[in-house]
């Protein structure tokens, strides 16, 4: 038994120690075993803990639970990933509230470079299903890993299409790995474990309770280089994940939809509020992320005659002066309000005239 694994699992079970505090503790004292055999004075003075948490560590009494979990993982070939491990997901490790410990069941190496999270509504439309399947098919030549949440709707469509396209796919779940939820996705989950797998931060006895899903969503957002929202209402789990991806400064992309379609309301809002970049195909994602120059997307054909509103002409003229400009600077220069700017950029982006890049930088498509 690896003592560091044992004691980091134990530390993660101490009341009052969440992912952020856990990370700070391990940074100050990498030897987790030492934490449990030191003094309260040491824990307070050198590790920076308050008296109540120091006391909880020294009086730790979850030995049986930790031993049971370790035995379960060994029996079921589940890997335990610590933040200090080289196999811990590298994109996730940089997030401030990255899980203290992860449990993984499957066949996958987390050093893969191209990882995309695909999310969306449970009650999808034919449009959403088609977009999701076409997107993953277009990403197939790039060997992308597809991450989602194994839920009904866009999640399971993404996982199944990834399997069909022989791409690795990882389902981040909101429960322990002693079960599969929803049970209707068990066969798909078993296929995923052959090339990909299931990932969780929860001990094996944890049930898929409602409060676990927002916690799970931050892993979906943090795991990847970029998150793509296919279709979502203005509220729901996909919007939570999208907001988390934005807060982590991850690339966020949305497929637009009709303004009258509730299932596209969330995507349209994220684009309009400039939190997400508008995409219409995998080529947009590939170009923005700068992937594999041997696979070059075909340049979009610019319309020869473009009709613009006066506001759009003003925005275009300012953009034409620089290679790229931050949205805040654009606001100052053209003296339009944020809503007007968002409307102009959305219209110009839909016409393949401009692109909103990561970091809220805008430029004309050359």
Q: Which residues contact 283 (CB under 8 A, 6 or more apart)?
A: 138, 297, 298
* Residue 45 CB coordination number (10 Å): 11
**Six-digit token pair at 344?**
């102009």
CATH number for the domain spanning 139: value is 3.40.50.450
Domain that holds residue 45: 1-75
> Could you tell me the CATH number of the domain that includes residue 316?
1.10.10.10
Neighbours of 75 (CB within 10 A): 8
pLDDT tier at 304 (50, 70, 90 boundaries)?
Answer: very low
pLDDT for the residue 295 = 45
The pLDDT score that the predictor gives to residue 358 is: 65
- CB-neighbour burial class of residue 128 (10 A; exposed 0-12, middle 13-18, buried 19+): buried
**Nearest of 310, 162, 306, 320 to residue 228 by alpha carbon:** 162
Among the ranges given (14-28, 94-108, 174-188, 326-340), the one the predictor scored with the smallest mean pLDDT: 326-340
Which pLDDT band, with edges at 50, 70 and 90, does 301 fall under?
very low
> Please, are residues 254 and 270 in contact by the beta-carbon 8 Å criterion?
yes
Both 117 and 239 in a single domain?
Answer: yes
* Same domain, yes or no: 123 and 257: yes
Q: How big is the chain, counted in residues?
A: 366
Co-location of 119 and 202 in the same domain: yes
Report the SS3 class of residue 226.
strand
pLDDT at residue 300, rounded to an integer: 40
Residue pLDDT, tens place only, 175-199 = 999 999 999 999 999 999 999 999 9
Residues 319 and 284 occupy one common structural domain: no
- CA 83, 88, 89, 91 dihedral sign is positive
pLDDT for position 155: 97
pLDDT tens across 199-248, in order? 999 999 999 999 999 999 999 999 999 999 999 999 989 999 999 999 99
* Claim to verify: residue 360 and residue 234 sit in the same structural domain: no
Mean pLDDT of 27-37: 92
Same domain membership, residue 346 and residue 267: no
According to DSSP, residue 296 is labeled P
Q: Do residue 202 and residue 262 come from a single domain?
A: yes
Mean pLDDT throughout 123-134? 94
Supply the pLDDT for residue 294. 47
Task: Provide the pLDDT for residue 61.
Answer: 85
Give the contacts of 259 (CB within 8 A, at least 6 positions apart). 268
Q: How many CB atoms lie within 10 A of CB 192?
A: 26
Give mean pLDDT, residues 103-123: 92
pLDDT score of 305: 45
Q: Which residue has the higher pLDDT, 133 or 366?
A: 133
Position 285 scores a pLDDT of: 93
3-state secondary structure of 8: helix
140's tokens: 């197939």
Q: 1 or 210: which carries more pLDDT confidence? A: 210
Query: β-strand 145-148 against 101-107: which pairing, if any?
Result: unpaired
Out of 6-10, 120-124, 218-222, 334-338, pick the least confident. Answer: 334-338
Whether pLDDT at 299 is above 60: no
174 versus 113: the higher-pLDDT residue is: 174
Token representation of residue 314:
């003003």
Asked if 255 and 116 sit in the same domain, the reply is yes
Number of domains composing the chain: 3
Can you give the pLDDT at residue 292? 60
- pTM equals 0.79
User: What is the structure's pLDDT at 302?
Assistant: 44
pLDDT attached to residue 214: 92
Instruction: Give the per-residue pLDDT at 327.
Output: 84
In a domain, 223, yes or no: yes
- Tell whether the model's pLDDT for residue 258 goes beyond 50: yes
In a domain? residue 27 = yes
> Is 295 inside any structural domain?
no
The verdict on residue 93 lying in a domain is no
Band (296; pLDDT cuts 50, 70, 90): very low
> Hey, which bits of the chain come out as E strands?
79-82, 101-107, 115-119, 145-148, 169-172, 196-200, 226-229, 251-254, 277-278, 325-326, 354-357, 361-364
Is residue 89 situated within a structural domain? no
Average pLDDT, the chain: 89
């Amino acid at each position: 038994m690896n003592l560091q694994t044992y004691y980091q699992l134990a530390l993660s079970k101490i009341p009052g120690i969440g992912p952020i505090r856990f990370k700070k503790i391990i940074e100050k004292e990498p030897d987790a075993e030492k934490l449990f055999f030191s003094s309260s004075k040491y824990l307070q003075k050198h590790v920076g803990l308050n008296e109540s948490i120091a006391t909880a560590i020294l009086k730790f009494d979850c030995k049986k639970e930790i031993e049971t979990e370790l035995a379960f993982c060994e029996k079921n070939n589940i890997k335990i990933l610590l933040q200090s491990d080289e196999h811990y997901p590298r994109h996730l490790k940089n997030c401030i509230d990255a899980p203290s410990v992860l449990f993984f069941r499957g066949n996958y190496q987390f050093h893969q470079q191209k990882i995309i999270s695909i999310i969306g509504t449970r009650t999808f439309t034919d449009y959403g299903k088609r977009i999701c399947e076409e997107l993953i098919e277009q990403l197939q030549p790039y060997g992308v890993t597809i991450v989602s949440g194994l839920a009904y709707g866009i999640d399971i469509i993404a996982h199944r299409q990834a399997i069909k396209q022989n791409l690795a796919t990882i389902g981040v779940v909101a429960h322990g790995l002693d079960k599969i939820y929803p049970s209707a996705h068990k066969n798909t989950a078993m296929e995923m474990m052959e090339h990909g797998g299931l990932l969780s931060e929860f001990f094996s006895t944890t049930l898929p309770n409602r409060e676990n899903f927002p916690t799970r969503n931050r892993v979906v957002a943090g795991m990847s280089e970029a998150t793509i929202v296919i279709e979502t209402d203005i509220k729901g789990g996909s919007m939570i994940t999208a907001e988390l991806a934005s807060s982590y400064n991850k690339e966020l992309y949305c497929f637009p939809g009709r303004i009258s379609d509730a299932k596209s309301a969330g995507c349209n809002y994220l684009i309009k509020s400039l939190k997400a970049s508008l995409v219409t195909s995998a080529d947009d994602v590939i170009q923005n992320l700068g992937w594999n120059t041997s696979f070059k997307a075909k340049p979009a054909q610019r319309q020869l005659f473009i009709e613009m509103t006066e506001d759009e002409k003003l925005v275009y003229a300012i953009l034409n002066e620089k290679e790229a400009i931050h949205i805040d600077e654009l606001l100052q220069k053209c003296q339009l309000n944020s809503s007007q700017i968002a409307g102009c950029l959305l219209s110009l982006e839909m016409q393949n005239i401009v692109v909103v890049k990561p970091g809220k930088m805008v430029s004309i498509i050359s």
